[in-house]
Amino acid sequence: MKVVVLTGAGISAESGVATFRDAGGLWEGHRVEDVATPEGFEADPDVVHHFYDARRRGLEAVEPNAAHLALAALEGHLGDDLLVVTQNVDDLHERAGSTRVLHMHGELRSAWCTTCDERLRWDEALSHRPPCPRCGTPTLRPDVVWFGELPYGMERIEDALSEADQFVSIGTSGEVYPAAGFMQVAAAYGAHTLELNLVPSSGTQWLTEARHGPAGLLVPAWVAGLLP
């Protein structure tokens, strides 16, 4: 059975990572266009670097929760038949033990040099403009996908959606494209589509089934129901 799981900020909420649109969410403190667009970075790189430096530092204070751990256990059973596509830039899936994870919106723990195009593991701040270890130019930016930029791995995602028997979206509001369109694509290919979310998302018309509640309860129960 081939399974594609799409995760959003809601799967990391119980770990203490702020979501975007919920009360006290990330976007509450900042205008999206100021901190998550190439234009915003061009206009004021300091504001953007501090926004991402704070989130990168915040990773030290959080741990994977039962939902992340359940998906890692599922990978143990399904192996290559499971792909976790995440909109999240945190590293909680990997810290839970998942290896088949595709960060379609990038990662906080990666920096991208806009001079030599090198992408490299990065755990420190960027606001002091450290030189790129490869070309020495101080042009490192957060390796995240901003609005108006092309998400990563779109071909691999489209291939996986076309072969999926099951598509499951976990902890996402379904507001941001192209991720918000994946459920419809999977449904069009005949997949069973399931939503595990605190509240109904905006893509419900393409759903076969929906279960609402905290991911930390819903995901382990769903995985337990799948395994022999």
Each residue 138-167 as x (binds ligand BV8 by CB under 6 A) or -, in order, gives ------xxxxxxxx--x-------------
Measured between alpha carbons, how far is 217 from 63 in angstroms, rounded to an integer? 16
Query: In what side-by-side order are the strands of the sheet with 209-212?
Result: 101-103, 82-86, 3-7, 166-170, 192-197, 209-212
Q: Give the CB-nearest residue to ligand BV8.
A: 10
The window from 38-46, 75-83, 126-134, 195-203 that contacts ligand BV8 (CB under 6 A) reads 195-203
C-beta separation of 69 from 97 below 8 A = yes
Q: Does 19 bind ligand BV8 (CB under 6 A)?
A: yes
C-beta separation of 36 from 55 below 8 A = no
Q: Minimal distance in Å, beta carbon 220 to ligand BV8?
A: 12
Question: Is the Cβ of residue 10 or residue 81 nearer to ligand BV8 in the bound state?
Answer: 10
Out of 3, 10, 75, 186, the residue judged to bind ligand BV8 by CB under 6 A: 10
Q: Does 203 bind ligand BV8 (CB under 6 A)?
A: no
Q: Does 177 bind ligand BV8 (CB under 6 A)?
A: yes
Among the listed residues 105, 128, 192, 212, the single catalytic one is 105
Backbone angles phi, psi at 144, to 5 degrees: -120, 155
- Interface with ligand BV8: number of residues (CB under 6 A): 37
Task: Give the bridge partners for 5, in sequence order.
Answer: 84, 168
**Given the structure tokens 């996908």, which residue do they identify?**
145
Burial of 93 (0-12, 13-18, 19+ CB in 10 A): buried
Q: Catalytic site residue 105?
A: yes
Residues that bind ligand BV8 (CB under 6 A): 8-10, 13-14, 19-22, 25, 36, 87, 89, 105, 144-151, 154, 171-173, 175-179, 197-199, 201, 214-215
